[in-house]
């Protein structure tokens, strides 16, 4: 049984560990997942392990990461959602989510993101969340707007080499 970091109606969040190499490969090793987050559409095994190490390091340094997500009922791994350091000096973190393809279209991204937004608003001193998406990822664009994020500008995102639409959500507007 994994330790639960936080929960929503259908999901629980845990922490990435060194033992999660298979889960990391299932997520970031899938080109359907990395199509919009990597320059050539995929991550090598080495890059997947680097991503896993980044998440573990983030948790230790900041108390958050893109936490792995599991279904409460079956404990099936469905992806990750959480926060990364963005501009903590100004109390801004980045919200992000990646789901395995079998979990797409079931409302898990929205449910997980709302859980993380609530966590950020009630359990941290953050004032704002940043989020961005690949310019062709219409599903992420739609979800960010539904969550209340406001478009700010397009910013260069080195992993894809493209200008990504960028958004902010003021946590003071969250009840």
Q: How far apart are the first and last CA of the chain?
A: 32
Q: How far apart are CA 123 and CA 23, in angstroms?
A: 27
Pairing mode, strands 92-99 and 128-132: parallel
pLDDT at site 40 = 82
pLDDT at site 38 = 86
pLDDT at site 39 = 80
Residues 129-149: tens digit of each pLDDT: 999 999 999 999 999 999 999
Which domains occur in the chain, in start order? 6-173 (3.40.630.30)
pLDDT at site 140 = 94
pLDDT at site 90 = 95
Q: Name the residue among 51, 106, 105 with its Cα closest to residue 82.
A: 51
pLDDT at site 5 = 87
pLDDT at site 41 = 83
Stretches in the chain below the pLDDT threshold 70:
1, 173-175
């Amino acid at each position: 049984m994994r330790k639960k970091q936080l929960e929503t109606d259908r999901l629980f969040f845990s922490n990435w560990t060194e033992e999660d190499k298979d889960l990391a490969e299932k997520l970031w090793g899938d080109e359907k997942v990395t199509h919009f987050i990597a320059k050539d559409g995929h991550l090598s095994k080495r890059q997947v392990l680097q991503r896993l190490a980044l998440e573990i390091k983030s948790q230790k340094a900041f108390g958050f990461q893109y936490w792995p997500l599991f279904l409460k009922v079956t404990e099936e791994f469905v992806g990750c959602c959480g926060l990364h350091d963005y501009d903590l000096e100004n109390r801004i973190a980045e919200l992000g989510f990646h789901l395995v393809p079998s979990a797409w279209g079931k409302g898990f991204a929205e449910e997980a993101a709302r859980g993380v937004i609530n966590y950020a608003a009630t359990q941290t001193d953050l004032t704002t969340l940043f989020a961005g998406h690949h310019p062709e990822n219409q599903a992420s664009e739609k979800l960010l707007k539904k969550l209340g994020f406001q478009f700010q500008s397009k910013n260069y995102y080195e992993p894809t080499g493209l200008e990504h639409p960028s958004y902010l959500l003021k946590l003071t507007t969250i009840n």
